[in-house]
A and B are shown apart, each in its own frame.
Chain A
């Protein structure tokens, strides 16, 4: 079986949906710009690419019609490159990486671009025609439950007080601000031409956040609840792309692998506490890698909400100093289908930066799932 490696990672700036600098940019254009930049930066031979596997949580309207194939054409890749769209909600682009790794392992291709895109400005969360199954809505209410409500459920079940959530969110903002100041995102963010000119920086972080400011906010989802807009990830526009290839191909073609994909897993959980999804997925991935959590020195855990992030870290025993050291989704944003590839790409590059050995990228998924990837520095 061939070993899959990560040999490059870029992303577009992440900006606020609706009012951000990328709100007027079509998601297919955003994805194409990101994919083209990855090809240019890594120097991968485009003709060798087996496929673009693109994650998207609401693949309709401008994200519809198999956006992966359309992105191949828009990005100017050879027509021989296949394109397919993956939907596992927030786990979509991490799943795209898993699929690429699986293809490599089974000999179904040597080099892939896996990534994701979401314009939450242009395709609303839940899509334009939400048509839930009335029977399922009655029997499994969690199946269609709003994400904010699941975050409240996790906060209650794991006793995560509002103040703890706010401390977590504030830390995410501070770490993101410090990372921006240190230029830690310079290598991963590619500039995008948008309506108002070139966009090259993230638009979501709120470096001026204060504990007092956060404490003054009203609950966002439940009048009697503890989750606020500040302890939730914002609606975001963005695209990501990761180069996944076999270790042999990388060597033979002068690419620079940054991490091996050691193991991967998806797992389901109760939909009404979907935020706890990373726990089961991570445990499976660790077991498959033959590792304990203590061996993991870099963790990228998606901060869909502070409540579920804290609950997952507690359950898994993740140390605070290794968790989202450049900030997480609460500060950086969470373009649903694009986030998974950011987590994997970021974890891989952090292994290079820190010189540590193992990294974990994991996230929760609406409908009650989790997904996890374990990487090893090359």
Chain B
């Protein structure tokens, strides 16, 4: 079957435009069409305006500014014939059946056979959407329900109808998975599908139970977040984030379509407070504020009883620290009872959706984990509590126990059988939890294998075909002497190829600053210098290893976590990789070869003007400002990644792609030759200091920035190098180390590190 080479999105609202942006992020050309607005100067004004707005939006829908060029704006009066070139058309217009069907008929008239048509509807059943349309249309039609913002939300719900062509749906799924990077959850054609139906129920309960209990919203959010593995926005913070104005629409739609017996109706209470807030423009973060707002004197919160804003309180309820979920839900305090009433009913409702909204429990867990960033899915939470315990407590408190929960009596919803995770099916039997084809997860490997090497900060795994995987296991994957040591030992094993990868929250946020500060506080300068030297040695050993090495970053790869990428033969990065040399932010300079590698990359860049200064000046600009890329695509623009490095859109496919890249490099692999440099020396150092002084004048750079910039300038200009001399890699490394050691002894640097450790924010001293 043909691939999806060109797509179209109709409807240039927030969702439609951002879906188009995600196609562009995947490198797929996409048409973005909307109606011709009355009185506008351009017939494509809506799509053009949406693209322009997205280029200014933060967080950005585009992974790089250049991706925007792949989106072609148009309108549905002039440009519908262009749909004939498209392999997939996504409809994301207003939620009105008549308008959607009218559009479908027009699309059906121009599209090529086998072109997939999907709706991004969140409220209209598929059966209604295809009613009265051609057979061919129904065959090629499905619902693809993206979540906002589509670039960042991994969840995509897919609904197919009885007439939908399975092969076509598979093609859309494959493209969505591999190219758009989404994790697919198949749902039934039932109201709200899974995520909205269960999520909205949970949020509504979260609001009305807090109202009934007279709980402050700060306390409600404190208990309905960390102790249950839910993001810190809890209930009220999340409603502010998605927008209060959306709730009445979704609620009305669910209320109209769900059967009278559904538990949703009891939670869907008319709330005058929310009505008033929406009427006054308090629709959440996108408006003037919501349950929380920024007041003149600081953060303010709505008092649920009064409906008026008051200064926010810092919740210090002990329940927020309760790690035992059963204890939390059994407590008699106001917050505990709240947690029980909200979560108990939500879990019960989740169980009731098995078979109706979802085929099995894994879809529901995936929807809540991917769509709401829950750490555990509802059924994983039930297993923590015990299905029997939950059923008993529900019954005791007068809540209904759905048969799906009762059926799990004496069982767990998940189990590990021969190291393979299994889930409890509706048939009462256990089934293997399926991974999409081609997905390789370290989590799965680790369940069965023993590490090849291991210490307190890292482990090495055999991932097959002679490839080893080096994994950080330290706190926050920070870098220390131990994981450097294990990397050194790993290189000595001379595997066929090495992949550097892990499955933490972030690839690595860099060196362990706490240890560094501790060593500095006791003036253990020798120890610090030893660690710098060790990093130099191990990273160079990695760079010149006789076998290919592929680093696979995702999330943050900062400081030393960026430098390891710079020393790998190649990088396979997740599209959402935030990469940067941020050492200057804590008063240091990159000293594990970050300066030398970045200089080499920029000097070798054919787009740079010739001469000793341009590359050095460019690296100075990037590093002195602690620049972090906002995507892997952007990391290529800074040369944190090479143009030839790979980008994986789906996080779950990163390891498999990295391994494949490593294997591709094996045949005929030769390590790189050490670079040499022509650098501007003192003159360049002077020029960089002049540039920094301009920033100081403008009020952008601080006094201590000047001290750090001066050290960085010394390294990047090659110290006392003369423009006619050749500078070696070793020379730069020596300059890096000397600059680092001078700075670490400086009180300004100590203050910056301390602030970073205590507040998580850079100190601008």
Contacts and interface: CB of A to CB of B under 8 A. Distances in A.
User: Do A and B truly interact?
Assistant: yes
Interface of A: 61, 128-134, 137, 144, 146, 149, 219-225
Contacts of B699: 222-224
Given A134-B683, A137-B686, A137-B690, A128 B697 contact: no
Contacts of A61: 609
A133 B684 CA distance: 9
Contacts of A133: 683, 686
Contacts of B694: 146, 149, 221
B307 interface: no
A171 to B, nearest CB: 27
A129 B686 contact: no
A interface SS class = loop
Given A130-B687, A132-B686, A144-B687, 10 more contacts: A128-B609, A128-B611, A128-B614, A131-B612, A132-B683, A134-B682, A144-B690, A149-B697, A221-B694, A223-B697
B680 interface: yes
B694 to A, nearest CB: 5
Across the A-B interface, give the 7 residue pairs with the lowest CB-CB distance, nearest first: A223-B699, A129-B611, A131-B683, A128-B609, A129-B613, A134-B682, A134-B686
Interface string B675-706: 00000101111110010001001110000000
Contact of B698 (A137, A144, A221): A221
Contacts of B126: none
B697 to A, nearest CB: 5
A127 to B, nearest CB: 9
Nearest to B694: A146
A361 B729 CA distance: 54
B723 interface: yes
Contacts of A149: 694, 697
Interface in B640-688: 680, 682-687
Nearest to B683: A131
A223 B687 contact: no
A55 B614 CA distance: 25
Interface of B: 609-614, 617, 680, 682-687, 690, 694, 697-699, 723
A131 B698 contact: no
Contacts of A134: 682-683, 685-686
Contacts of B690: 132, 137, 144, 146
Contacts of A137: 686, 690
B697 A221 contact: yes
B698 to A, nearest CB: 6
Nearest to A136: B686
A106 to B, nearest CB: 38
A133 B682 CA distance: 8
Nearest to B614: A128
A224 B697 CA distance: 8
Contacts of B684: 131
Contacts of B683: 131-134
B687 to A, nearest CB: 5
Given A149-B694, A221-B697, A222-B698, A129 B685 contact: no
Nearest to B688: A130
B330 to A, nearest CB: 58
A220 B680 CA distance: 29
Contacts of A146: 690, 694, 697
A223 B686 contact: no
Contacts of B685: 134
Contacts of A219: 698
18 contacts: A128-B610, A128-B611, A128-B614, A129-B613, A129-B614, A130-B613, A130-B617, A132-B687, A134-B685, A134-B686, A137-B690, A144-B690, A149-B694, A220-B698, A221-B697, A222-B699, A224-B699, A225-B697
Contacts of A129: 609, 611-614, 680
A137 B686 CA distance: 7
Q: Interface centre among B613, B617, B694, B698, by most A CB within 10 Å? A: B698
B615 to A, nearest CB: 10
A228 to B, nearest CB: 12
A223 B697 CA distance: 6
B697 A131 contact: no
Contacts of B613: 128-131
A223 B690 CA distance: 17
Nearest to A220: B698
Nearest to A128: B609
A129 B617 CA distance: 9
Given A149-B694, A221-B694, A223-B699, A131 B680 contact: yes
Nearest to B613: A129
Nearest to A132: B686
Nearest to A144: B690
A219 B694 CA distance: 13
Contacts of B610: 128
Nearest to B723: A131
A310 B690 CA distance: 28
A304 B168 CA distance: 64
A224 B700 CA distance: 12
A221 B699 CA distance: 9
Nearest to A145: B690
A133 B686 CA distance: 8
Contacts of B687: 130-132, 144
B635 to A, nearest CB: 24
B207 to A, nearest CB: 42
A165 to B, nearest CB: 18
A340 B694 CA distance: 27
A18 to B, nearest CB: 15
Q: Interface centre among B680, B685, B699, by most A CB within 10 Å? A: B699
Nearest to A138: B686
A174 to B, nearest CB: 27
Q: Interface centre among A133, A134, A225, by most B CB within 10 Å? A: A134
Contacts of B682: 134
Contacts of A225: 697
Contacts of A144: 686-687, 690
A221 B685 CA distance: 21
B692 to A, nearest CB: 12
A2 B193 CA distance: 92
B679 to A, nearest CB: 11
A329 to B, nearest CB: 21
Contacts of A222: 697-699
